[in-house]
Structure 1
Amino acid sequence: MLKLYDSRFSGNSWKIRILLNQLQKPFERHTLDLESGETKTNEFYKLNRFNRIPVLQLEDGRTIVESAAILLYLAEGSPLLPEDAYMRSQVISWLFFEQGDLQRSIPLARVYHIRGIADKMSQQIERLHADGYLGLEKLDRWLTTNDWLVGGGYTLADLALFPYVSLAHEGKFDMQRFQHINSWLDRVRSQPGLLGIFDLSSYQSV
């Protein structure tokens, strides 16, 4: 059985659980405590050379690391990842965009607020908001004329961007500014098998 090493509050881990649930793939979940250093051990380094979650361990013991790589591996052969080379490239470009334009600013601002240290990090949060808003504005502009990120329906691109964009308000981003993003988030939430961040998958072994 597939094994997923993740953490409870991680948006990157949430992406993988959504996809596993939507593809109806059984998996065994191992939830780690990041604050206690469970990803910093030599044992975990053998699973992930970067010492971070998520990690997908295959049935033969090999591992796949980095959320985008895991998503692409799991979605291979499914309707969420187009066979057409050009359309596939468009999906992958959104995965790169998410990692480059949204991944650092939105999650880090969120972490500062969740951990209750936002007051001490006000200058850093101001910079994170400035960078994050630039990415969100690009996304919202695309969605003014497109219901989905690629083609005419839900794809891996939408799944990949959904978690952290939907959590941006937890980092005190003013999401009321982005009506097109909010409509898109509702469309993604309506997809079969879409899990909330703390929901258990129907295909999760506990």
Structure 2
Amino acid sequence: MIISKLHYISQGNTPEAHLENIQKACTSGAELVQLHLTDVSDAKYLEIAKAAREITFHFQTRLIINSNYKIAKDVKAEGVHLEKSDICPTVVRPDLYSWQIIGGTANTLEDCESLIAKNSDYIILEPFKSSTKNSSTKALGLDGYTAISNALITEKPIIGFGDITTDDVTAILETGISGVAVSDAITENFDSIKQFNLLLKASATGEIRHTFE
């Protein structure tokens, strides 16, 4: 499966708001969305994930489930994204369908190398910019992205994340980063998806999509 160049990371004040925002993202042309729920029970996560799968299936949008690989398998999402504190990708892989993908979060070159060694399918490298959400982690910026991209020998897609706006995309791509994951900027203006896709040259009609048998 080709990894989309634009990932929308869902947000919302309630689980239902996450669904509303996923629907808006799909309507606006998102090719991949990550359902990113925190502080909810597994039962609630599964309920919302099933609803998200219905929405994304209708729009032929790829769905990634954050952290919970069992739910990703249950709802037949395209894959799971594992945070640094989550279970190891090598443990998760045998429990997923063969066509499902695994992404991982990295903050450093060493994190990236570890995820590559564990056969993650893509890496989200963060933060590009610092924010109150990740204030304990130093912003990588363009210099950090360039240094890590130059040091890595891999064909795995590296996706930038961390308060990225459309103004940042061109410079980020020049560092060797493959694409971007965006939450705030898209949630504030879903029409920006079209601009992100244009800057990333991520045409929805130009990518191969997985179809279920």
**TM-score, length-scaled by structure 2:** 0.32
Give the structure, 1 or 2, with the largest relative contact order (CA under 8 Å, sep 6 or more). 1
Task: Tell me which structure has the larger Cα radius of gyration.
Answer: 1
More helix by share: 1
More strand by share: 2
**TM-score, length-scaled by structure 1:** 0.32
